[in-house]
A and B are shown apart, each in its own frame.
Chain A
Amino acid sequence: MRQIRCDEISKAIKNTLIKINHHLDFSLINLLKKAKSQETNSTALSVLDDILENEKIAKQGIIPLCQDTGVVVVFVTIGQKVVLDGSLEAAINQGVKAAYIEGYLRKSIVDHPFNRINTGDNTPAIIHVNLVEGDGLTMHVASKGAGSENMSRVVMLTPSDGIEGVKRLVLNTVQEAGGKPCPPIILGIGIGGNLEKSALLAKEALLRDLNDQSDDPVIRDLEKDLLDSVNAMGIGPMGLGGKTTCLAVKINTYPMHIASLPVAINIQCHSARHEVIVL
């Protein structure tokens, strides 16, 4: 058995949320710089300059990268030998509350679909727990903005739609989203499982290392093919034209029913804010 204190969890969540809302990941900055070096459209270059300049100001001036500091999503992987001295959910939400109040982040959560009263501290977080062997605790924490989330979708294709059907769906989704999700985007795609599993796969795909590649050769080719096809659409940064529409495509899959081909497309804006905590 391994004892982990809930206040350690809260503190780690708080510190990580404040950090990711002011600092972009190094590999993301590199992808933005690489895109800029290949871009020829003057409007696109101006937008990419804004994005890179924004990152510097956020870091130096300690001002959040984006006014939409998002809904907090946490994927928890916890070992069966871990014993907590309280509620995991309460500990995470305590960390969220502290980060958003003490860190001057925007509180963007409302209590009810129609009453829409702000909860005042950006809680509750959306928490997914995976129980595994061992005594480890890792939490992958994201601040996910609504602009790109609102352009995301789950569609139940039929098996005969196949890989071509998936490609068409992805391109149509990106086309309809246009400049709204703040391109250059990252695409997280979940294929398989059922309705909710595909959505979770898509979200987890967005949290993958930007430089990794799928182990599955068919999926790896599809990721590359979709990245090239999306960037050939000419949508560009903020939809204003250019080659830089998408920085990365990540696809996760899972077995599914013989009658189903669920596809979830989760769009991430260029301000991809997430980090792994290992306790």
Chain B
Amino acid sequence: MIHLLTPLDLKQLDKLSAGDRVLISGTIYTARDQAHLRLVKDFNLAFKLENAIIYYVGPTPTKPNQVIGSSGPTSSYRMDTLAIPLMERGVKVMIGKGQRSPSFKAAMLKNNAIYLVTTGGAGALLSSKIKSYKVLMYDDLGAEAVHELVVENFPCFVAYDLAGNSIFKGGLE
């Protein structure tokens, strides 16, 4: 098990290989489709994209006495195109689920970024790894707003590493 801490030390990313299990602790940011549409045109952000970790999630509403609602990953491919300019502005790690496009992968390699996956449909389990949750930007987007999360031992697999290897398996004969 490999621990990945924030602020990110980029040398940490070199050591990760597709298939490795990592536990993230520190500060990460949420963004989905609508937030990406705004982030790519917005140059006055409430957080730094440089070396940032972005998690593709839109949680359920937080109940009283809970930190956050159910918080599993959404399908990453919908962010493939819009993730590219964000990587060019410094994003280094993206967390979601499922395969991504060839153009995303090429941009990822060019910008020395990596892609992690976590278990889809395990939002209750993953919410237990989130220690704080607050809105940073685009509050009007509700669950799709940009949030700052503080996570502890948030479990992921390395899906695409810096050498271009992939965790994804299977196919037709």
Contact = CB atoms under 8 A, between A and B. Distances in A.
A162 interface: no
B97 A54 contact: no
A184 to B, nearest CB: 10
A58 B121 CA distance: 11
Given A63-B124, A67-B123, A234 B69 contact: no
B60 A106 contact: yes
A234 B170 contact: yes
B98 A51 contact: no
Interface in A71-114: 104-108
Interface stretch (A131-139, A174-182, A194-202, A215-223): A174-182
Most buried by B among A58, A116, A171: A58
Nearest to B100: A180
Contacts, number: 160
Name which of B72, B119, B143, B157 has the most chain A CB atoms within 10 A of its CB. B119
Given A54-B122, A235-B170, A66 B75 contact: no
Interface residues of B, number: 42
Contacts of A241: 167-170
B11 interface: no
A119 to B, nearest CB: 11
Given A178-B99, A234-B169, A66 B19 contact: no
Given A57-B125, A238-B119, A270-B121, A178 B168 contact: yes
Nearest to A272: B121
Interface string A238-279: 111110010000000000000000000000011100000000
Interface residues of A, number: 51
B74 A68 contact: yes
Nearest to A241: B169
A46 interface: yes
Contact of B69 (A50, A67, A179): A67
A66 B74 CA distance: 10
A51 B57 CA distance: 17
Contact of A269 (B58, B120, B128, B167): B120
Contacts of B127: 63
21 contacts: A47-B119, A50-B155, A53-B125, A54-B123, A63-B63, A65-B70, A65-B123, A66-B123, A67-B57, A68-B58, A69-B60, A147-B75, A147-B120, A175-B171, A175-B172, A178-B168, A179-B98, A180-B75, A237-B119, A241-B167, A241-B170
Interface of B: 19, 21, 34, 57-63, 66, 69-72, 74-75, 77, 97-99, 117, 119-128, 142-143, 155, 157, 167-172
